Structure 1
Amino acid sequence: MTLKHDTAPAADDVVNQLLDAALMHVPFDGWSDATFAAAVSDAGVDRIVADAICPRGAVDLAVAYHKRGDALMLEQLAAEDMTGLRFRDKIARAVQLRLEVIDDKEAVRRGTTLFSLPQYAGDGVKLVWGTVDAIWTALGDSSEDINWYTKRGTLSGVYSATVLYWLGDDSLDHQATWEFLDRRIDNVMQFEKLKAKVQSNPLLKPLMVGPNWLAQQIRAPEARDDLPGSVGPRT
């Protein structure tokens, strides 16, 4: 006799089903318990299974939504021909692609509200860090010292500011947002030039010995996925 066994769907598949169903309700109810309950019902997922896979309910779906956007951005980046672009333009293009893959601005607006709450602010920071880490890694960043942190920290600020501007932008094809992004990146480049001048100034070099030594002791994380924004072990 051959016994038939039901094959349980993978956790990722269940999350995707719930997320797709939730996006129909997020514009009205936000990333809330009501949205999660509606998603469970619409997707036909057993509530016990849904609670086990998403113990925080819609919060976990909001996290999954952001990570889905990161994955789509990486797909778009892999298909982009950036030959001849300056590195600052590659970064700008990556941020632009991250926003262009979003098909529901209201879902992001609701997510921004959710992750501004004190109990979820840590999740928001980790998600933004994960996005910029994915960008730098995809663009071939190989830094292993303090620059690994400063690059991601700086781009986190640029990205966060650009998202907030984009949420309120009603210009044609979000042209005002891309101009805002360019200005923010130009500000960063000006700061980097100032840092280089300070480092090369012979009068200031003696004062930089201590800070430079300390900076050299800081190393990028290796083979860990438990740091803010990590997208997997570094190779």
Structure 2
Amino acid sequence: MTAPDLKETLLDAALIHVAFDGWTEDTFRAAVEDSGVNMAVARAICPRGAVDLAVAYHQRGDRLMIERASVTDLSALRYSEKVAALIRFRIEAADDKEAVRRGSTLFALPKYAADGARLIWNTCDLIWTTLGDTSDDVNWYTKRATLSGVYGATVLYWLGDDSPDHQATWDFLSRRIDDVMRFEKFKAGVRNNKALSALLAGPTAILNQIKAPSGARNDRPGHTHGGQ
């Protein structure tokens, strides 16, 4: 069995315990015992124990989102609706709300906050890339930063939502996406306004020098070339 397979085995075993013990050392040890994976091997695969399993759980959700998007016809949707659909796919991929809640608590800790921010950023990068985003300037960053805020806020709303089929969450998401689209329309308006463009020529010239990371859309697990 490969290391990724063993990590998935450990993750499946851990999820049973996360609701009671969180993403903790107790959960990791229980997962090792339940799965039958040798502790030395488990430590080699997950040096940080349950923290690495929490990361793996988030990444599993990203893969499931991409898999669902690849078999769903989104062609009839407006662009904003496609963005909302992928965020919904991602949230619905996390079928264990308590595991997400415990993960949110873990990644809110200063020690792991960078891990949490990176996971959310990567999720939003996957969403934009799957939808065919080709930006390679400062917009590459602003799109992902803005969507990270939308995604994070929607997950927190979902965690407290007890409405039927989480309809309140999807309504909340729709409003947040509308806000993003209005902001994108505002940016386009500024670019098309000659007076404002002249006024902002200096700052714009500086921002135009910012480029997306080299190979940003080609070096991630789960990447699908060509988008939708």
Class of the TM-score when normalised by the shorter of the 2 chains: over 0.9
In 1: Cα distance, 2:115 partner to 2:189 partner? 37
- Tell me what 1:111 maps to: 103
Q: CA deviation at 1:206?
A: 1.9
Query: What is aligned with 2:120?
Result: 128
In 1, the alpha carbon distance for the partners of 2:224 and 2:215 equals: 5
Pairing 1:180–2:169 present: no
Separation (CA, whole Å) in 2 of partners of 1:193 and 1:83: 22
Identity among equivalent positions (%) equals 60
Q: Could you give the per-residue CA deviations for residues 160-219 of structure 1, whole angstroms, max 9, x where no partner exists?
A: 000000000000000000000000011111122222222222322221111211121111
Residue 144 of structure 1 aligns to a residue in which SS? coil
Looking at CA atoms only, which structure, 1 or 2, has the larger radius of gyration? 1
Match of 1:99 in 2: 91
In 2, the alpha carbon distance for the partners of 1:11 and 1:202 equals 57
Question: Could you list the per-position Cα deviations for residues 8-66 of structure 1 after superposition, in whole angstroms to 9, with x for gaps in the alignment?
Answer: x2110110110000000000000000000000000001111111110100000000000
* 2:53 aligned partner: 61
Q: How is 1:72-221 mapped onto 2 (pairs within 5 angstroms)?
A: 72-221=64-213
Letter in 1 for 2:152: S
Paired letter, 1:134: L
Question: Contact conserved, 1:158 with 1:185, CA < 8 A, in 2?
Answer: yes
Q: Give the length in aligned residue pairs.
A: 223
Output the TM-score relative to the length of structure 1. Answer: 0.91
Q: CA deviation at 1:234?
A: 10
Corresponding position of 1:23: 15
Name 2:220's counterpart in structure 1: 231
Which blocks of at least 5 consecutive residues in structure 1 are unaligned?
A: 1-8
CA contact (8 A) 2:7 2:45 kept: yes
TM-score by length of 2: 0.94
Deviates more, 1:88-97 or 1:192-201: 192-201
CA distance in 1, matches of 2:216, 2:176: 31
Q: Which residue of 2 aligns with 1:6?
A: none
Deviation at 1:102, TM superposition (A): 1.5
Q: Which runs of 4+ in 1 moved over 3 A?
A: 232-235
Whole-angstrom CA distance in 2 between matches of 1:180 and 1:65:
25
Equivalent residues of 2:130, 2:224 under 8 A apart: no
Q: Give yes or no for the alignment of 1:52 onto 2:44.
A: yes
Q: Structure with the greater relative contact order (CA < 8 A, sep ≥ 6): 1 or 2? A: 2
